[in-house]
Structure 1
Amino acid sequence: MTDGTTNSPRAGRGSDPETVQIRVVTTAHPATATAPPRRSRLRAARLGPADVVRLGGTGLRTRPLRAFLSALGIAIGVAAMIAVVGISGSGQAEVDRRLDALGTNLLRVAPGQTADGGKASLPPESVAMIRRVPPVRQVAATGATGAHVYRNEHIAVGRTSSLAVLAAGSDLLPAVGGHVRTGRWLDSTTEKYPAVVLGATAAQRLDVYTPGTRVWIGGHWFSLIGVLDPVPLAPEVDGAALVGWPVARSQLRFDGRPSTVYVRAEDSRIASVRAVLAATASPEKPGEVAISRPSDALAAREATESTLTGLLLGLGGVALLVGGVGVGNTMVISVLERRPEIGLRRALGATKGQIRTQFVTESLLLSLIGGLGGTVLGTLITAAYALSRGWPTVVPVWATAAGVASTLVIGMIAGLYPAVRASRLAPTVALAGT
């Protein structure tokens, strides 16, 4: 309650205006008398996920060509990485498939070097001794005759085309996993007569493919009876002319010593068989025997190819980095060009966080589009190359996931600085910067 007095010249009749006092009494509620006035505070509206995506896609829709070119840089990098990994994986799957078909239980026994550095040799009975080892399933051998094969007798002696003439038995082809392309393989009858089977490389260099054609070997005519497909586990057979063991001894002065022995053993006993092969093949001089596993050579070649794959992956990463720089450049230019829009949104109540979210989302969408496009492109490239080579198409899931994830990380990094820069623009400055 408040109490106040005032002097009024219009007090009443008969009263002195200077001495008349008017008491004014006012009453108020205690609560309203002490509480300060309430102020209403405006709060910025929250943006849902759909709103954020819609705002982030605004820049992409209004500038489609620039967005396409920026996403293309990301797509090329991702496609390069996925194609490299996919082609390497497809090649590895093909090697594994071929090894499964050919078998990894093949061992090769060959003469090594003597103590004085000369060329050693295997005894003629080495094949029979190896065959007595219990876990051994198949044994076959080839012998270097020292002769050469020519298209006809008019070819100069020195023009051998690096082709060898090997003595072989009828059991060689199943032991090394070979197949006949045309004609037939040596048998118990043809190995006694001047008949020859050419490896794939030998037939190509001699340009002889038709059974019945004659070739000149060691001063004698031999009739072609077959041509082989490439033999991955015995590449020396590809560049050779194969004749029967008996005819090689009778007409080509072959001494009967095997130059290479191929051994198939039980998969579970391959290590134990390998340990005793040298002493079995040459009991007197086991140190002069070399034992190898052809599948190990294929695995080593695969490891070499994986090194090249790592190099190509690095190049794909560089391309992806360049694409990320392109995205960052696009976002910086977008902020400069859209300053009036930023200022208007800030004047209408958009917060700095909403501005940052808008531009980071736009960068992420741009990178995501490029990453998905690059994944599809890389997969198509891998499939096309694998089909052209007859390989199974293999695109590892981790490669596609890593490609898309890397684009998102690059998009986040590339869009962060432009987004922060956009959020720091004052409304008045942004609206004035037209």
Structure 2
Amino acid sequence: MRQRPLNVATPDLSWQAVALGAARDTSESMQDLLALPSPRSMPLSMGYLPPDLQATELLSTALKQVAKQPALWDRLPLEGMEPLRSWFAREIGQGNIFTPHEVIICPGGQAAIASTLRALLAPGSTLLVEAPTYIGVISAARAAGITLVPVPTDGDGVRPDLLEATLRETGARVFYCQPTFANPSGTLLSQKRRNDVLGVISDARAFLIEDDWARDLYLGTPPPAPLAAQDSDGHVIYIRSLAKSAAPGLRIAAIMARGAALARLRATRGGEDFFVSGPLQAAALNIVTSSGWKRHLNNARNALTERRDTLMAALRSELGHDIRINSPQGGMHLWVQLEDHVSDVAIASDLARQGVLVSPGKVWFPADPPGSYLRLTFAAAPSILREGARIIATTLKQKSGPQSG
């Protein structure tokens, strides 16, 4: 037997490369987004409410109250606490399309997405996604060995004609989308297209995974009802999270499904982490049923509206009207289109060296992007947004101009 030498200053870990084998397809871009920013940086790349907009007081009060209930530390149903499942089911509206027994509580939206992909898709099968799409679903699909095929979008969301053609050509039976304030583009799927997309999915006898991440974060008129509210035959798998609208640490989300898909999801979740922490579920229920929840959401929406307008005005002031920016009616991100010869990856790297953190558009496409983009989060304090816009504008002016070579 080989003896391990004592007092070796540098351990030999080279054996691990052989034992682990070939690396899996993982997303470094996802890890970059999750990395905690330096206190001195200007984060315009985060995907959560900043501390000053989080529901911290509600969370603190809720946790103090649930701490008095020792039974919450015992085993819970795999699907989650029934009162919390009932709340998620009621939030769909439109006649309560889901019952509480068709709801499964998960530890956050990303876990819900990953579980849903594993339940519905075998390794090597095909998942259709909007282009661009949420980087988290790209990461989860690749980690599960699932092939991603993009479906083009425009200002009204995914194009139903191209969705229909792609379903037919690929034979895919699952489509992931964010019809309400898509991340990163901020697009709201138009009402006509909502009906058309559901018709296409129904005709193809396919599933649609509806990730309703920003339903609480509308900036003005409330959005249309979820696609799930119009689906009577179990085509829509619905995902909704509280982490985006409350605080990143409230890792509570729900998957809603019907029929055999629900059974698959239960089986998948049962093999992962059994159930979500009881005190966290109880705290979540306490928060969303409290009198302060709507007040918190109203305050967050008002602040996000002001900050969206601040960042857009600052960019317009610095760059004029030549810059192409969406004006999202919800969520927390601007989608900025750059000149085609300007590398979004290079711009993001230059800005990071100057302390401004943005997300290059390339990482939000599962295949070759049609252009060069930046995703800018407008949730930060107005002073940070204005200074960040100044640095972004200066950097873009330096990189723009005639293409060399």
Both proteins in one fold, TM over 0.5? no
Q: TM-score scaled by structure 2?
A: 0.20
Higher helix share: 1
**TM-score, length of structure 1 as denominator length:** 0.19
